[in-house]
Every structure is written in structure tokens, then in C-alpha cells.
């Protein structure tokens, strides 16, 4: 039969052996799985933070792009609305400059028209909208 001492020693050896087996299982499978799960959660958190940062940056970039577009567009629009030349410019209102032969012909053959040309040129000289 089994003596009391052998039962105690067998029980202690059994407990030590069971403890060793559980420790081995714990270190090989359970702790490794828990660490992998922690790493997965950390990666998910890091990915979430990265996506949030990228979204904030894209919003900032959009705001910057809009600001730049407005900064570039507004002066050109405002410049397009400004009057750059006279309203009469190009409308036929300019000084008449007949050649020497034409002036000579007007003096000898058509003095009234010559006076009209001279009056037109005096008016043109006085008007800022006249092309000179």
C-alpha cells in the first residue's frame, strides 16, 4: 500500500509538476497571445491617431489652399473691375494728324474742314479721354 509519506511526496511532486506545466503553457501561449492582443490594440490606437492627424492636416491644407486661391484670385478680380483706360479709348476719339500734303491741300482747297480739324485737335488736347 501507499504510505502516508509517499502520498505527501507524490502530492507535492504532482503540484510542482502541475505548476510547471501551467507556467509553461502560460508563457508559451497565454502571455504571448495577450501580448499580441495588446500590440494589436496599440497599433489600432496608433493608426486611429495617425488618421486623425492626417484629417486635421488635410483640413488645414484645404483652408490654406482656399486662402491662397483667394489671395491670388481677389487681386486679379479686383484688377479686372478697375478701369484701366479711358472709356473713349479706341472709340475714334483721337487727335487727327494729317500729313504735310493733306494740310497743304486743306489750306488751299477746303479751309472750313481744316478749321474743323484744328478745333477737333484743340478739344482733344483739353480732354483726358482723347488718345493723343
Note whether 106 and 116 are within 8 A (CB): no
Cα 95 to Cα 117: distance, rounded to the nearest angstrom: 9
| pLDDT tens, position by position, 93-132 | 788 888 888 888 888 888 888 888 888 888 888 887 787 7
pTM, 2 dp: 0.33
CA–CA distance, 54 with 51 (Å, rounded to integer): 5
Question: Which CA distances in Å does 131 have to 84, 104, 122?
Answer: 14, 24, 12
Start-to-end CA span in the chain (Å): 136
Q: C-alpha grid cell for residue 82? A: 478697375
Other beta carbons within 10 Å of 96:
11
pLDDT tens sequence across 67-96: 776 676 666 555 555 555 555 454 557 888
pLDDT (tens digit per residue) in 15-67: 999 999 888 877 777 777 777 777 888 888 888 888 888 888 877 777 776 67
pLDDT value at position 75?
62
Amino acid at each position: 500500500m501507499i504510505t502516508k509519506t509517499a502520498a505527501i511526496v507524490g502530492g507535492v511532486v504532482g503540484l510542482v509538476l502541475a505548476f510547471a506545466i501551467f507556467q509553461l503553457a502560460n508563457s508559451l501561449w497565454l502571455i504571448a497571445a495577450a501580448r499580441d492582443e495588446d500590440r494589436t490594440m496599440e497599433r489600432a490606437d496608433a493608426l486611429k491617431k495617425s488618421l486623425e492627424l492626417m484629417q486635421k492636416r488635410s483640413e488645414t491644407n484645404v483652408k490654406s489652399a482656399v486662402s491662397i486661391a483667394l489671395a491670388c484670385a481677389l487681386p486679379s478680380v479686383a484688377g479686372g473691375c478697375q478701369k484701366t483706360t479711358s472709356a473713349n479709348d479706341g472709340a475714334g476719339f483721337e487727335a487727327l494728324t494729317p500729313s504735310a500734303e493733306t494740310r497743304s491741300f486743306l489750306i488751299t482747297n477746303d479751309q472750313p474742314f481744316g478749321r474743323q480739324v484744328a478745333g477737333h485737335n484743340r478739344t482733344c488736347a483739353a480732354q483726358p479721354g482723347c488718345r493723343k
